[in-house]
Structures are given as C-alpha cells and as structure tokens.
Amino acid sequence: MTIDYDAKMPESQEGTEVYNVDPLIVKSTYSIDYIHSYAQDSEFFRALGKRKLMGSKCKKCGYTYATPRSHCMMCGSETEWFQLPNKGRIHTFTTCYFGSEQFLSQTPFHLVMVEFDGVDSLFLGRLIGADTEDLRIGMPVVARFKRLQSFSPTDVYFVPARE
Amino acid sequence: MNTRRLMKHKGRNVYMISGGVTKFAKASPDMDFRLRVKKAFDYALNDINLSLDQIDGSVASYFSDHFQRQLMSGIMVQDYLGLTPKPSKRVEGGGATGGLAFQTGYEEIASGRMDVCAVYGFETMSHVNTWKGNEFIALASDTNFDYPVGGFYTGYYAMMAVRHMHEFGTTVEQMAKVSVKNHGNAMHNPYSQSPMKLTVEDVRKSPMVAYPLTRLDVCTMSDGAAVAILASEEKAFQLCEKPVLVKSIGTGTDTMRLADRPFGKVPLLPNESQSDYKNLKYPGIHSFRAGRMAAKEAYEGAGITDPLEELDVVELHDAYTSSEIQTYEDLGLCKYGEGGAFIDEGKSSLKGKVPVNPSGGLLASGHPVGATGIMQAVFMHWQLQGSIKKHFKNDALQVHNAKTGLIHSHAGTGTYVTVTIMEAV
C-alpha cells in the first residue's frame, strides 16, 4: 500500500489543434485499418489478375449478373461463376469533377455503366481514353486490366473499342 | 411479383399533432445535436402546450455514426430531452431515415403501443469537410463494387440523369428549372438554408459537379434537427386543436447496386395501363422502383386513384434536381417520361396544379439527413393545418385549402423510399 498525496499525472506536449475558442472547436483524428474479406466475392478480384471479368449466372433460373452475387435476386438460388465478354457498350456515363476525399485527387474521371450482350445486369467501371463529348450511350467499350493488381474493382477499366 | 398485399390490420388512426424544426445551416457549432433537437422539440411542445409526461415514447432518426464519431447518439438525445426511461429506438435507412422513422412512429401509435410518440431526427454534418462528408455518404454504396470505383453519390445520380435524358428526352434546362423553383420557394421559408433567386442560366453556369449536374442541381450538407409528435385519435383531439390525419404509409426498396436493377415492367398505378409503357424497360437506372412501390402502397391505403387530381401539395426528396423529375413520375403525378414537361408546364410550381416542395425542398431548405424526412412532415403538418403564416411569419408559401398532402423520403440510389399521405381533418 502506497498512498501518495502529491501524485501528479504526467504532462504531455502533444497539445490539441484549436480552430475556434467560442464555441471551442478542436481537431480530433480517427483512422483505422480494416481486415476486409471479399468472402464469396473473392473469385471476381482474383480473376482480374488473369485478365478475366467474372459474372454470376443463376443455376436455377439462368438470370445473369455482370456484377457478381452468389445468390440470385430473382429466385434466391445459388449462382455460378461465368466469364463475361471483354467487349460491351456504355449504358450510361458521367464525368465527376468533384468526389469523395479519397478520390478527389483523381478528378475529373469518367464513370460508365457497361452492358454486355446476353447479360441481364450491368457493371460499373471507370473509363479512360475519351473526353465527355466523345461519350455516348451505346458506344462500344472494351475492358482492360491493370498489370499490378490492387485487388480493387478498379483493377479493370474500360477504353473505347474499335468498332 | 409486383402485387402488394394491403396491411391485414390497418390498426388505429394516427394523427400528427405538432412539429418543430431548427433553421438548417451548413454549420452551427454553437449547438450540438442534443441541444438542436431540444430546440425543435420544445417548439413542438410549446405549440400545443404539451408536457413531457404526456409523451409515451419516441423514435430516434439519424443516419451516420461517422459524422460525429459518436455511437448511440439516439440515447443521448432521449436523455437530454428528459424522455428516459421511456421506450425508444433508433431507425436508420440512409437518406430515407427520417421517412422511415416517421413511419415507425406511426406504427407505435397504430399498433396501440403508444398514445403519444415523439419522432426526433437530426444530423450534424459540419464536423468534417464537404469532401470527407461525401466519402461518408458514399460508404452507403456497395464497398466491394461501387465505392472504390465511383465513391460519389452525385456521380451515381448523374448517370441516372444521363439515362433519363436518353430514354425520355429530358433536358438539363428542365432540371435547372427545379432548382430555380425550389430555391425561389425557399425565399419565403425562414427555416431554409439556401434561399436564392436564380435563373436557368445561373444553374447551368455554376460549377459542374458530375455531368450533367452542377453545384445548383445538388443539395448541400447541413446541421439540423426536426421533431414530429404523433398521437392516437382520442389523444390527438384532446391535445391539439387542429390535428392532421396520417392517412396511410407506403415503403419500397430496391437493390443496393445500381448495376443490379432489372429491366422489367412498370408496377402500374390505377390511372396507368401497361400499353402506356410498351417499350420501357423498368426500372433500369432511369427510374426509382422503390419510389413507385412506396407510392402504390400509400395510395392503396388512402384510396387514391388519381394522384394529380387528389393531391394538393407534395414535399418530396429532391437531393438532386434530376431526382425531383424522376420522382414526379414514380409518384404518378405524370406518366414515366413526362417529368420534364411537368416542370416545363409549371405544374409543380407554387401556383401550379400540385405545388411540389413549396418549402424549398432539400435543394434549398437543406438536407441534415436524419432530420430531413421529419422536416417534410412538419412543413406538411403546417400546410394542412393552414398554419404556415403562424410558423413562417408570412403566408407566401401557404397552399390554400390544402386537404391532402404527400411526403416522400428517399435513400441511396433509390434503395429505401417512403411515401406517407397526410390529410387535413
């Protein structure tokens, strides 16, 4: 038993950034590394490294998804992987001049939703190699794959396809 | 698949008896979320001389835990208001959080669990910068497939707008007219964040955010709070001189990813037929199926068969000018494809066939997410009471003899949508 009547908490010189005093507004920081599992979607990300775009096909009703999901939204059954064609068409597009903080430095960039022949749903991707004025709905595009993977859906991107 | 079953038991009649809203602002650091809700709550209480002990419980409405890095903000508000130890729960569903919470309050009364229920909503978006805020909002998109690619809600809505233009010939000028209308209406709403007298040219010349949407086609971040008090029929007429009936509720959902939206048939309203939409693949990414399903359920509950004729005023979720046009169609105010003409013809203007967003909507009133759907209920309550003059200190926005109103709250890229019909009694 040691009782110290003069005990003192140690001081820190870290301090706090203050933006305003009335009301008192201070800086507070929060960051975290997640151990994110792609779980049942893993195959899609692995396949990008083999320059393959993988979608899902329902084993029961045959509905096909350009963005994979392991169970069918139409009938609830399990789906299986199938390879999508590399060539598709622009279903719609935009050019982002602003964005989330994480992507702000990449602006401006084009987003396209791509439709593939015979596939019931769409795929969201980035497109390069054209200006906004060049983009039109129905324009043929082709998937390209990054050589060095970051295991993100941006490992695949689209460019205009020669018609 | 699109046939809907009406609620087996409609439950008890539900009334809105009072409401309060704080003035929405880009940042109001002088108050935290608890004090902000308290201000709106006290306004609602004082309006009908209600006391704390007359409230049986509550529903808390807020969207994001990221904006303040405070979990369980709901109980902190419950505590601050002096409502502990009464029952309460949090309801969350993105942009539709307020609409969903309001409907949860409705269910608390309709089920007979509570006689008087406070629904309070709030959001504090000013504690992070606008682009970090956009990042938090974008986390409400699939983080495997959507967030890492686009990561920006205005980008998602822009793609829907481009497709709407392609399908139906909608123009950027028509979208701009929504901005002109809503910012203009807000000039008479003392609670609004961004009242502005604008021209179509102003909207088009403001900085492009995501083609074709400019800065003035998009709502802003806000700090704000709103409170709605709901009651059973017996209590409503005891406590309030002019209660407003919450006649029916409807809720729809759709896939998280825009990419998964099917290309099927339109779920029809009573005033439509399949031949209206022979070549339309629905919803695709031009329309909000959840909005249509919510409207369909709410109209069935209220016995509405011709919305344009039967509705007197609408407050809808115009986070983007394009989504107001899309929503005219989902709500059946006009047919799919006619939304652009609807604004061109002035049908949604203050003096039009059915005034839409007389308050200024999200575009001009502001969009503190968890408060937004409740703000709409409060403004609609005042419209249907005919008390706009009392609360706004001017009656420029009062829709005269408004009897039936619709409020519409909307999440994600149209993932959760609520429609609630309110009626003057």
Predicted pLDDT at B2:
45
Question: Does the CB of B396 have a partner CB in chain A at under 8 Å?
Answer: no
pLDDT of residue B4: 52
Q: Cβ of A47 under 8 Å from any chain B Cβ?
A: no
Taking CB atoms and an 8 Å limit, are A67 and B259 in contact across chains? yes
Cis, bond preceding B212 (omega within 30 deg of 0): yes
For an interface test with B, the pick among A98, A116, A119, A157 (most B C-beta atoms closer than 10 Å) comes out as A98
Model confidence pLDDT, tens digit, residues A82-115? 999 999 999 999 999 999 999 999 999 999 999 9
Tokens of B296: 């369909």
Indicate the helix (H) or strand (E) that contains B9. none
Of A74, A94, A120, the CB nearest to B155: A94
Q: Which of B171, B198, B199, B188 is nearest to B351 (CA)?
A: B188
| A123 min Cα distance to partner chain B (Å) | 6
Q: Do A100 and B207 touch (CB under 8 A)?
A: no
* CA-based radius of gyration for chain B: 20
Answer whether the bond into residue B283 is a cis peptide, omega within 30°: yes
Q: Which residues of chain A are within 8 Å of residue B256 when distances are taken between CB atoms?
A: none
pLDDT at B1: 42
Q: Is the pLDDT of residue A163 over 90?
A: no
The count of other CB atoms within 10 Å of the CB of residue B26 is: 14
Give the DSSP per-residue string, B50-110: --GGG--EEEEE---STTTT-TTHHHHHHHHHT-TTS-EEEE-BTBTHHHHHHHHHHHHHH
User: What number of CA atoms fall less than 13 Å from residue B416's CA on the CB side?
Assistant: 18
Residue B361 φ/ψ region, left for φ over 0, alpha for ψ in the -120 to 50 degree band, beta for the rest:
left
CB < 8 Å to A102, chain B: 135, 151
**Does the structure show a pLDDT above 70 at A78?**
yes
Closest CA–CA distance from residue A23 to any residue of chain B (Å)? 6
* Tens digit of pLDDT at every position of chain B (425 positions): 444 555 567 799 999 999 999 999 999 999 999 999 999 999 999 999 999 999 999 999 999 999 999 999 999 999 999 999 999 999 999 999 999 999 999 999 999 999 999 999 999 999 999 999 999 999 999 999 999 998 899 999 999 999 999 999 999 999 999 999 999 999 999 999 999 999 999 999 999 999 999 999 999 999 999 999 999 999 999 999 999 999 999 999 999 999 999 999 999 999 999 999 999 999 999 999 999 999 999 999 999 999 999 999 999 999 999 999 999 999 999 999 999 999 999 999 999 999 999 999 999 999 999 999 999 999 999 999 999 999 999 999 999 999 999 999 999 999 999 999 999 99
With an 8 Å Cβ cutoff, are A137 and B285 in contact? no
Angle between helices B321-330 and B153-168 (to 10 degrees): 60
- In chain B, the residue whose alpha carbon lies closest to the alpha carbon of A22 is B30
pLDDT band at A1 (very low <50, low <70, confident <90, very high): confident
Report the helix count and the strand count for chain A, using DSSP H and E. 1, 10
Question: Using the beta-carbon criterion (under 8 Å), do A92 and B207 form an inter-chain contact?
Answer: no
Quick: pLDDT tens for A13-68.
999 999 999 999 999 999 999 999 999 999 999 999 999 999 999 999 999 999 99
For chain A, say whether B253 makes contact (Cβ under 8 Å): no
| Amino acid in the structure at residue B409 | S
Interchain proximity A124–B257, CB inside 8 Å: yes
Instruction: Calculate the alpha carbon distances from B296 to B271, B300, B313, B424 in Å.
Output: 11, 6, 17, 21
- The residues near B84 (Cβ < 8 Å, ≥ 6 apart) are B75, B78
Residues of A in contact with B289 (CB under 8 A): none
Q: What is the pLDDT of residue B353?
A: 98
Strands B313-315 and B404-410 come out as: parallel
> Nearest to residue B174, comparing CAs of B315, B347, B295?
B347
Write out the H or E segment, with its range, that includes residue B179. helix B172-185
